[in-house]
């Protein structure tokens, strides 16, 4: 079976339908967390589901961007095997922010 490049990103041009659903859930969780939902392990469960979906779809890797100051998310991604491979500056309103780009090889 041939390998495909995987992508966990709001700008993805190719993702299986299940991954699109995961992306919407992850985007929603990342942009609108509430105190009542933090610390329940939901982020880890979503990441596990994304990784398993990517493996079933024979993707070669996943990558994501995380705000450089979100230390708890970075720690969770590192724990799951993601490694930093670069960064990306983006504008949040009028403020320049930096995302770390992290990759998980699935092969």
Chunk the chain into consecutive blocks of 10 residues (it has 107) and report each block's average pLDDT, rounded to whole numbers: 44 53 61 61 80 87 91 90 94 92 92
Query: Which of 77, 100, 102, 104 is flagged as catalytic?
Result: 77
Examine the residue annotation and report whether 34 is marked as an active-site residue of this protein. Answer: no
Q: What is the pLDDT of residue 10?
A: 44
Is this structure's pTM higher than 0.85? Answer: no
Q: What is the pLDDT of residue 16?
A: 57
64-84 pLDDT, tens per residue?
899 999 998 899 899 999 999
Cβ atoms of 79 and 62 within 8 Å: the answer is: no
Q: What is the pLDDT of residue 8?
A: 47
């Amino acid at each position: 079976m041939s390998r495909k490049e995987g992508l966990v990103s709001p700008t993805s041009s190719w993702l299986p339908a299940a991954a699109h659903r995961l992306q919407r859930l992850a985007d929603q969780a990342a942009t609108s967390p509430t105190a009542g939902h933090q610390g329940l392990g939901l982020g880890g469960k979503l990441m596990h589901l994304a990784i398993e979906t990517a493996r079933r779809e024979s993707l070669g890797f996943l990558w994501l961007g995380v705000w450089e100051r979100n230390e708890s998310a970075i720690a969770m991604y590192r724990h799951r095997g993601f490694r930093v491979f670069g960064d990306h500056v983006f504008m949040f309103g009028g403020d320049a922010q930096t995302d770390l780009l992290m990759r998980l090889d699935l092969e």
